Chain A
Amino acid sequence: MSASQSAVRSRAEAVKASRTFDWLICFTLFFVVLGGYHIHYMLTGGDWDFWTDWKDRRLWVTVAPIVAITFPAAVQAMLWWRYRLPFGAVLCILGLLLGEWINRYLNFWGWTYFPVNFVFPSNLMPGAIVLDVILMLSNSMVLTAVLGGLSFGLLFYPGNWPIIAPLHVPVEYNGMMMTLADLQGYHYVRTGTPEYIRMVEKGTLRTFGKDVAPVSAFFSGFMSILIYFIWHFFGQWFNKTDFVKSA
């Protein structure tokens, strides 16, 4: 290969080739990250995300942000720290939500006939926007981890509150007090996931009633800070361009 030779015939062709690569890269990155992130999220927090009767004030609020901040932290380590693109977290969440919504419509509703207002995914977008904005404004990984991670945990419940509130209204049914979401769960029986394995609002924290959600969100924010740090470094490793040389 000669260094003097050019790969393109003109500047215009070079620009066109460069733009085309941008699109191909964006498409591939989006869908591969979507696949990896979705399988991670559905198997670490999925049950709370699938069903409204799992979307309680305690475990859902605690678990979802902790397991969701992983890929955004890793992808930010690429898009911001290598290319100064301030949308790593939003890209991940958009991918995750796209994968989830397609599934809830075509499969949860289309194949197993659960109504969509029983199986809609959690909204993670407010936390993702804040995470990206803090990184862009501060250009600091530490600040993004501490402030962004904490916000990611704290914003989860308020970000979902308008959606879930109507289903957390208390109802009395056959002499028992429950939420509308619980009632949905009793009516739409999932034989493969019987009631005894549902994990919601365990522990003594619920004794304090109204404090359950904010305390859970605060704990989730604390854990999200730690997870952000770890996954930032995971992301850095995945960003390398190492080669294994044959002996």
Chain B
Amino acid sequence: MAATTESVKADAAEAPLLNKKNMYLGALVYIIFYGWVRWYEGVYGWSAGLDSFAPEFETYWMNFLYIEFVLEVSTAGILWGYIWKTRDRKVMSITPREELRRHFTHWVWLVMYGIAIYYGASYFTEQDGTWHQTIVRDTDFTPSHIIEFYLSYPIYIITGGAAFLYAKTRLPAYQQGLSLQYLVSVVGPFMILPNVGLNEWGHTFWFMEELFVAPLHYGFVFFGWAALGVMGVVNTEVASIAKLLKKDLA
């Protein structure tokens, strides 16, 4: 009887399989932050973002760029460092329930990756089209680029890297090596950022007009395809979760 009571108490005190609060909070952080960013663009894009030689451009846009560089490097270092440092060194001996709980946490990371990819690859990239097709650029660091390339891309890179590291350090399913499709789905979109070098060089050297379908942009396209690697990740996850639940679902 005493043992049963203890067990019930332990169950009640146990962390939930899926921490919904963390998931909704995480999603809200992205949505509210990017809502604020969009407000900032709306206010300071037209009023301070048209002439890169103007003092207000330095105040509102270049300082924004410097601050985001510092924050991104430190966030990546702290987050990735924390996940790696607190890794489970006996990952193959965890209980099935703990493994299921970790799969849920992994999926919280993947949901965040979905949101971050949406904002980076869809929302801010097409937004860049309308800004640069409307405004003639006089610098590589335009208001649109400061947000798209140097904010939204690093954020999905940091999020994707965190999801990958979490899986690698805490889930038995990823201990047989490096998941190739997972690597592709994280490293491919990451390569979009270095490809900015080609983009800027090309716009500086060949033409400053904005033709979105110009071959100069095909690097972004190629690395964008890598997002499809998420299908391999889903398949790996489905196989692992099915193994954990199959017996009870039969």
Contacts and interface: CB of A to CB of B under 8 A. Distances in A.
If over half of B's interface residues share one DSSP class (helix, strand or loop), that class is named, otherwise mixed; here it is helix
Given A11-B249, A241-B181, A243-B180, A111 B235 contact: no
A35 B231 contact: no
B184 to A, nearest CB: 7
Task: Sort chain A's interface into a size bin.
Answer: 35 or more
B127 A192 contact: no
Contacts of B108: 24
A10 B17 CA distance: 14
Contacts of B122: 34-35, 38-39, 99, 102-103
Given A50-B130, A192-B136, A241-B239, A36 B212 contact: no
A29 B218 contact: no
Nearest to A119: B130
B114 A50 contact: no
Contact of B125 (A28, A33, A39, A110): A39
B134 A192 contact: yes
Interface in A19-53: 20-21, 24-25, 27-40, 42-48, 50
A17 interface: yes
23 contacts: A1-B94, A6-B96, A7-B96, A11-B249, A28-B113, A28-B114, A28-B234, A31-B117, A31-B118, A32-B113, A36-B117, A36-B224, A42-B129, A47-B212, A75-B228, A99-B123, A106-B127, A112-B134, A192-B133, A235-B231, A240-B232, A241-B181, A241-B236
Interface in B159-198: 172, 176-181, 183-185, 189, 192
Given A1-B95, A99-B123, A244-B183, A8 B100 contact: yes
A98 B107 CA distance: 23
A100 B130 CA distance: 12
Nearest to B107: A24
Contacts of B137: 192
A-B CB proximity, top 9 nearest: A36-B227, A35-B121, A31-B114, A243-B177, A14-B248, A35-B117, A7-B96, A99-B122, A39-B224
B127 A40 contact: no
Interface string A78-117: 1000100000000000000001101100111011101000
A107 B126 contact: yes
B113 A114 contact: no
A156 interface: no
A137 interface: no
A190 interface: yes
A242 interface: yes
A14 B69 CA distance: 44
Interface in B44-59: 45
A191 interface: yes
A47 B235 contact: no
A245 to B, nearest CB: 4
Contact of A32 (B45, B117, B237): B117
Most buried by A among B189, B241, B245: B245
